[in-house]
A and B are shown apart, each in its own frame.
Chain A
Amino acid sequence: MRTHRLPAALALTASITLTATACGGGSTSAGSNSSPKTLTYWASNQGTSLENDKQVLEPELRKFEQQTGIKVNLEVIPWSDLLNRILAATASGQGPDVLNIGNTWSASLQATGALLPFDQATFDKIGGKDRFLPATIASAGAAGKDPAAVPLYSMAYGLYYDKKLFQAAGIANPPATWDELVADGKKLTTGSQYGLAIEGGNVSENVHHAFTLGMQHGTGFYDAAGKPQFDSPQAVAAVKQYVDFIAADKIAAPGNAEYAANQSVTDFATGKAAMLMWQAAGANLKSHGMNPDDYGVAPIPVPVGATGSQATSSMVAGINLAVFKNTKNLDGALNFVKFMTGDDEQKVLNSTYGNLPPVKSVQADPAFATPELKTLAGVLQGSAAPLPQVASESQFETLVGTAVKNLLAAAAAGQPVTEASVKAELTKAQQQMPAS
């Protein structure tokens, strides 16, 4: 008995610890057309549920099948799984033919070499590069390289404000600068109601705002050579400004520090908060019973007198469509990309989901002429900047977003947030970046 138990226990321990690290080696074969009648498509979750996405997409996929005879197998993947599923597919070489990626991941996924580059010839097959807004192309891969994907849905951040609460507080116009926002926020903070709702436990949400504020303070978190500069004085100032909404200005509720399931949208829709910085929130607000007439949308504030990149008021948000390099149906996959980015589908899909079309020819369509979408389209064209398109972008998102989450948690617990404590968190984030 004694001789048998030890090895068994050791093997058990070994398997528990090591299965997580064992990924297989991938095949590196290029695309072919050996399986021309089917495609697999991984769609990201855009609608109110995975089921809702299937209901939206399946009729469109049947249209594609009627046109081309190619059957598309659809799988809708929740956001929390998507990046890991893509990584696993990359490592094993067993991926879908066409897939959605968050546009901020473009350069990181480009670096794996698993996605088909969209060079001139490839773009020609889907109708040309000029069909897309330049800002959305800029968020499809690193500068100077062929994009790793094409834009599918676009979004931008706007400042949503509650018209009734503004009127009750005697504020005529939405704030255009941060000084105004903080002043208005203080007027709107009364007991159980707060001026602003933020999603402080959500790592991605944090990093998006840190990036926009960073641009306004004069840093994109990376230097010109693509080296991370997470703890520069400008970055510290930007992050501190965001954390101060809870820590110093006290215009956001301390409880917001743990929000990670869109509770800030609920708070705004139910009148617990008067302002919200969100991307294309319309459909979401409607599902919470908020009428489009009850709120207004303005660009996110900027510093007084800001110009050029310091007047950046949003990241370029959106979803891109990529083709897996070792697809067995290269022509079909490109055909599908052409279909999805074509005028008709762009109109149907973007208006259903409440997004902006990244395709120029569709933008004037009346479906996108709501006050909300008109404001966001203006932001996207005039004052949005893509997140750093560098290979380590996905690490940047996680590490800086987590740093902001930790700082907000400290602020919520009543601990002082100083320049030194912000800098310490950001330095820690930077030092965790893998050498590349």
Chain B
Amino acid sequence: MAQLRRTRGRAALPYLLLLPALAAELLIHLVPMVVGIVMSFKQLTQFFIRDWSTAPWSGTANYRMAVDFHAPVGQALLNSFWVTCAFTVLSVGLSWLVGSTAAIMMQDAFRGRALLRAAFLLPYALPVFAAVITWSFMFQRDTGLINHVLHDQLHLVKQKPFWLIGDNSFTALLTVSVWRSWPFAFLTLTAGLQNIPRELYEAAAMDGAGVWQQIRRITLPSLRPVNQVLVLVLFLWTFNDFNTPFVLFGKAAPKAADLISIHIYQSSFVTWNFGSGSAMSVLLLLFLLLVTAVYLFATNRRRGADD
């Protein structure tokens, strides 16, 4: 009898220990999510913001407006979706490329390595606002450093281009984003590289493998698990990045750099149409869930096949 009670107590313990986490999960993630979903079916404007539960139901009107790609609202949302996709792919790709290159080049010890490493991490350590506002000064057309170098010193361009308005704004945004993200890739990959046994390289070198072959056959396969997490995290961060475009362009971003996070912010908080802003958020959530699920499924299956 005593034996039985002890077993039963022991069986309940793990669930008991899980309870705080479960409650936190419920409060922090699930409740706001449900609230957001409910809001997306409401006609929520400034008239109802004091008590949003009294806002009239709007059925699927918010969703229909968001995906009506022939009307301005849908058109603008679609535009910002494509801008965000292009931006994310380029930013994550470049950040990963720069980060991996730097990490591999810093793999072998040399004089001043620690100092250089610290310098590489500087963008990551700076407060976002201060860093991005400095970039926005540098991108000013008439007084900025970038045009000064391109036009006055190197004479690469005939006319001083605009960077913060018009089509070039995409390039400006991408530059700042890569500058901000690559140190994270560098840091993560440097940690990953520490786990690769040096003997593998020595053996490969003995067998006559060159630097490229070593990177292709040893470094990249060994880093695959790190890269999987890194790319996913960079993807989610970049896709949802709000600070960079907001500080760079303010609440009205140029069309070429109208990221979806800013766009949804403008739809809900600037034009005070919280219902349609919520609907756009839910659509974005569904898209990100889909991408994440496909990504995890694909990468896990590949790993399963390798094991």
User: A-side interface residues toward B, CB under 8 Å?
Assistant: 2, 5-6, 9-23, 25-26, 28, 84, 87, 90-91, 93, 108-109, 111-114, 201, 203, 253-255, 257-258, 260, 391, 394-395, 398-399, 401-402, 405-406, 408-410, 412-413, 427-428, 431-436
- Distance in angstroms between the alpha carbons of A399 and B72 in the assembled complex: 12
User: Which 3 residue pairs across A and B have the least CB separation, nearest first?
Assistant: A22-B32, A409-B165, A434-B273
Does A11 lie within 8 Å of B72, measured CB to CB? no
Q: A112-B50, A434-B273 are in contact. Are A22 and B36 (CB under 8 A)?
A: yes
**Contact for B72 among A21, A409, A412, A432, CB less than 8 A:** A432
Does A90 lie within 8 Å of B251, measured CB to CB? no
B277 close to chain A: CB less than 8 A = yes
Known: A17-B285, A203-B250. 17 other contacts (CB 8 A): A10-B289, A16-B288, A18-B32, A21-B32, A28-B51, A91-B52, A112-B47, A253-B142, A257-B165, A394-B46, A398-B251, A401-B252, A409-B162, A412-B166, A413-B166, A434-B271, A434-B276
CB distance from A204 to the nearest CB of B (A): 10
Q: A17-B240, A91-B50, A431-B72 are in contact. Are A258 and B288 (CB under 8 A)?
A: no
CB distance from B40 to the nearest CB of A (A): 8
A401: chain B residues at CB < 8 Å are 252
Does A258 lie within 8 Å of B165, measured CB to CB? yes
CB distance from A113 to the nearest CB of B (A): 6
Does A432 lie within 8 Å of B76, measured CB to CB? yes
- Distance in angstroms between the alpha carbons of A432 and B53 in the assembled complex: 24
Residues 101-132 of B at the A interface (beta carbon under 8 Å): none
Q: A9-B296, A16-B240, A406-B254 are in contact. Are A111 and B32 (CB under 8 A)?
A: no
User: B-side interface residues toward A, CB under 8 Å?
Assistant: 25, 28-29, 31-33, 35-36, 39-40, 43, 45-47, 49-53, 71-73, 76, 140-142, 162, 164-167, 232, 236, 240, 250-252, 254-255, 264-266, 268-274, 276-278, 281-282, 284-285, 288-289, 292-293, 296, 300
Does B251 lie within 8 Å of A203, measured CB to CB? yes
- Distance in angstroms between the alpha carbons of A14 and B293 in the assembled complex: 13
Does A395 lie within 8 Å of B236, measured CB to CB? no
Does A12 lie within 8 Å of B47, measured CB to CB? no
The 20 listed contacts between A and B (C-beta, < 8 Å) are A6-B292, A10-B293, A13-B289, A14-B289, A17-B285, A17-B288, A21-B274, A21-B281, A25-B53, A84-B269, A87-B269, A253-B142, A258-B164, A391-B47, A408-B165, A409-B162, A409-B254, A413-B166, A431-B71, A431-B73
A17: chain B residues at CB < 8 Å are 240, 281-282, 284-285, 288
Does B36 lie within 8 Å of A21, measured CB to CB? yes
- Distance in angstroms between the alpha carbons of A91 and B284 in the assembled complex: 24
B46: chain A residues at CB < 8 Å are 87, 108-109, 111-112, 391, 394
What residue of chain A has the Cβ atom nearest to residue B161's Cβ?
A: A413
**Contact for B140 among A13, A28, A258, A433, CB less than 8 A:** A258
Does B50 lie within 8 Å of A13, measured CB to CB? no
Does B50 lie within 8 Å of A93, measured CB to CB? yes
- Distance in angstroms between the alpha carbons of A435 and B52 in the assembled complex: 16
Does B50 lie within 8 Å of A28, measured CB to CB? yes
**Contact for B164 among A112, A201, A410, A428, CB less than 8 A:** A201
B281: chain A residues at CB < 8 Å are 17-18, 20-21
- Distance in angstroms between the alpha carbons of A6 and B289 in the assembled complex: 9
> Counting chain B CB atoms within 10 Å of each CB, which of A2, A20, A253, A433 scores highest?
A20
**Contact for A87 among B49, B167, B296, CB less than 8 A:** B49
- Distance in angstroms between the alpha carbons of A9 and B229 in the assembled complex: 10
Does B236 lie within 8 Å of A16, measured CB to CB? yes
Does B284 lie within 8 Å of A112, measured CB to CB? no
- Distance in angstroms between the alpha carbons of A114 and B35 in the assembled complex: 22
- Distance in angstroms between the alpha carbons of A17 and B293 in the assembled complex: 16
Does B254 lie within 8 Å of A413, measured CB to CB? no
Q: A10-B289, A15-B32, A21-B268 are in contact. Are A434 and B45 (CB under 8 A)?
A: yes
What residue of chain B has the Cβ atom nearest to residue A428's Cβ?
A: B72
> Counting chain A CB atoms within 10 Å of each CB, which of B31, B50, B278, B292 scores highest?
B50
Our count of residue pairs bridging A and B at CB distance below 8 angstroms stands at: 169
B255: chain A residues at CB < 8 Å are 406
Q: A258-B164, A258-B165, A405-B252 are in contact. Are A13 and B52 (CB under 8 A)?
A: no
**Contact for B52 among A23, A111, A432, CB less than 8 A:** A23
Q: A9-B296, A435-B43 are in contact. Are A26 and B250 (CB under 8 A)?
A: no
A14: chain B residues at CB < 8 Å are 29, 33, 285, 289
- Distance in angstroms between the alpha carbons of A435 and B272 in the assembled complex: 11
**Contact for B50 among A2, A18, A114, A398, CB less than 8 A:** A114
B45: chain A residues at CB < 8 Å are 434, 436
What residue of chain A has the Cβ atom nearest to residue B133's Cβ?
A: A261
B33: chain A residues at CB < 8 Å are 14-15, 18, 22
What residue of chain B has the Cβ atom nearest to residue A26's Cβ?
A: B50
Does B284 lie within 8 Å of A10, measured CB to CB? no
CB distance from A237 to the nearest CB of B (A): 22
CB distance from B231 to the nearest CB of A (A): 12
CB distance from B14 to the nearest CB of A (A): 15
A91: chain B residues at CB < 8 Å are 49-50, 52
- Distance in angstroms between the alpha carbons of A26 and B123 in the assembled complex: 40
B268: chain A residues at CB < 8 Å are 20-21
Does B296 lie within 8 Å of A13, measured CB to CB? no
Does B49 lie within 8 Å of A13, measured CB to CB? no
Q: A13-B236, A399-B271 are in contact. Are A18 and B292 (CB under 8 A)?
A: no
- Distance in angstroms between the alpha carbons of A258 and B139 in the assembled complex: 10
CB distance from B3 to the nearest CB of A (A): 32
- Distance in angstroms between the alpha carbons of A109 and B272 in the assembled complex: 11
**Contact for A2 among B141, B284, B300, CB less than 8 A:** B300
Does B278 lie within 8 Å of A21, measured CB to CB? yes
CB distance from B33 to the nearest CB of A (A): 5
Does A412 lie within 8 Å of B162, measured CB to CB? yes
- Distance in angstroms between the alpha carbons of A413 and B159 in the assembled complex: 10
Does A5 lie within 8 Å of B296, measured CB to CB? yes
A258: chain B residues at CB < 8 Å are 140-141, 162, 164-165
A391: chain B residues at CB < 8 Å are 46-47
Does B142 lie within 8 Å of A255, measured CB to CB? yes
Q: A391-B47, A398-B271 are in contact. Are A201 and B165 (CB under 8 A)?
A: yes
What residue of chain A has the Cβ atom nearest to residue B52's Cβ?
A: A25
Does A23 lie within 8 Å of B49, measured CB to CB? yes
CB distance from A2 to the nearest CB of B (A): 5
CB distance from B166 to the nearest CB of A (A): 5
CB distance from A384 to the nearest CB of B (A): 26
